[in-house]
Amino acid sequence: MCGRFVATAPPSELADYFQAVLSETAKVEESSPSYNVAPTNHVSSVRANDGHRELETMKWGLVPSWAKDPKIGSKMINARAETAATKPAFRSAIKKRRCLIPADGFYEWHKIEGQKVKQPYYITRADGEPIVFAGLWEAWKPKDDPEHDWTISCTLLTTGPNAEMKTIHHRMPVLIPPAQWDRWLDPANGVDEIEDLLVPGPDGLLSLTPVTTMVNNVRNKGAELIEPAP
C-alpha cells in the first residue's frame, strides 16, 4: 500500500506543470509544503473537466457516493488495481472518475530481521521528475442534507512491485507517465482501454533512500524527514 507521501509544490505551480486550470476550490485552498502527507489530509489532484485538465483539492481517502458516513474514507486510501473494476467502492470511479495525484516522492516501510521497528524509505524518481500516482475520485454529500457541501475525495491505485520496490515491499503505487496522462484521465476510455497502465513502473525508475523513524509520527511535517538516515 501507499500510506504517506511528500507534496511541496503549490497549486499554481502544479497547474503550470500539468497545463491545468485551477478549480475555484484550489484557488482559495491554503497549501503549505508537507513532507508527511497522511490519510484524510487534503491533496492536489488533476482530473478531466469539459475537455481540459483541472487541478482540484481533494481529501485523501475515497468516500463512495453511496456511503452513509464519510468516515469510511479513512479505510479507502488505496485501491488494488487488480480488483478496482469489481469492488463496489471503486468500480464506478475507475470507469468515469480517474485522476492524477502528484508528489515529490512517497514512503514505504521495510521489516528488517532482528529489528522491532520497520525501516522507513523515501522513494523518488531517479531522474528527479515528480511522481504522478494513478488515482480515482468521488463526490459525496449526505442524502438527507442537499444543502451540504460536496466532499471531493480520492484514492491511490496500487499494483505489484518493480525491481527496486521488490527489495522492500510487495506492492507499489501505479504511476502514470506524462505521455499517458490524457488517456488515463479521459472518461471516454473504458477500463479495458486503460488496464495496460495498471502495471508496475519500469525497473530503474525509482530511487530508494532510508530515512529516520521521525516520519512515523504524522505530526512531523518538515524537510528533515527526507534526509538520509545516519
Taking residue 219's Cβ as centre, other Cβ atoms within 10 Å add up to 7
List the catalytic residue out of 2, 56, 99, 154: 2
108 is catalytic: yes
List of residues 6+ apart from 86 with CB closer than 8 A: none
Estimate to the nearest angstrom the gap between the alpha carbon of 103 and the chain centroid: 8
List the catalytic residue out of 54, 56, 99, 108: 108
Taking residue 33's Cβ as centre, other Cβ atoms within 10 Å add up to 14
Backbone angles phi, psi at 222, to 5 degrees: -85, 170
List of residues 6+ apart from 161 with CB closer than 8 A: 169, 170, 171, 172, 200
Taking residue 142's Cβ as centre, other Cβ atoms within 10 Å add up to 13
30 is catalytic: no
What whole-number distance in Å separates Cα of residue 43 and Cα of residue 103?
A: 9
Q: Tell me the catalytic residues.
A: 2, 108
